[in-house]
Structure 1
Amino acid sequence: MNKILAALVAGLFAAGAFAQAAAPATPAKPATPAVAATPAAPAAKAEVKAEAKPAAKAEAKEDKAAAAAAKKEKIAAAKKAKAEAAAAKKEAAAAKKAEKTAAKAEVKAEAKPAVAAAKAEAKK
Structure 2
Amino acid sequence: MTHRQNTLPAKSPAVDAPAAFRLTIHRPAPDTGVVEVVGDLEVATAPRLRELIATEVEGPLSHLVLDLRGVRFLSATGLAAIEYGHRLATGRGIVCTVRVAAAGRALRVIQLLPVGFADAIELA
Instruction: Say which structure is richer in strand.
Output: 2
TM (norm. structure 2) is 0.20
TM (norm. structure 1) is 0.20
Greater Rg by CA: 1
